[in-house]
A = this chain, B = another copy of it.
Amino acid sequence: MTVIDSTPVTPPPLLSCTAGGAAGPTRPRTDGQDRYTISQVAALTGLTAHTLRWYEQIGLLPDVQRSATGQRVFDRRDLERLAFIGKLRVTGMSVAAMVRFAELTRQGETTADERQEVLEQTRRDVVARIAELQDALVALDEKLACHVSAHGAKERAGTSS
């Protein structure tokens, strides 16, 4: 991965309610100027070109457009999909589950209920995970409090070792 310094890449604004999850069942053709090469997308997302190709290959990021010469042409929609994939990744969802979700999305409106259930379950998982982490935070703070009080006592007693 080399640093891209030519053709400055401007991250597009993310739309709110579009096909972030995976491929939408229909994709409006990219007629505008939001075209990104794989290395630009790599730079924007922090993923490697390898990983981007892999995502496409396993069906996590399907239907990436190609130029007449066969090169991948990513657009804003793909970046949105990748952004949402990033969110799902943060939640701890496995790649296999994300692929499954992408497939459901591709299947269109008929899978809306199932997708909603997946999202709600994921939401519950995230809430639980946050609670766990906050629990851990409490434990850390208790430990730190011990350290501080022990240190304070030490300071007061002048035992510096």
A residues neighboring B (CB under 8 Å): 16-17, 20-21, 84, 87-88, 90-91, 109-110, 112, 115-116, 119-120, 122-123, 126-127, 129-130, 132-137, 139-147, 149-151, 154, 161
Contacts and interface: CB of A to CB of B under 8 A. Distances in A.
A123 B142 contact: no
Contacts of A16: 142, 146
Contacts of A84: 139, 143
A134 B147 CA distance: 30
A111 B18 CA distance: 53
Q: How many copies does the complex hold?
A: 2
Contact of A133 (B21, B91, B161): B91
A142 B90 contact: no
Nearest to A129: B133
A87 B136 contact: yes
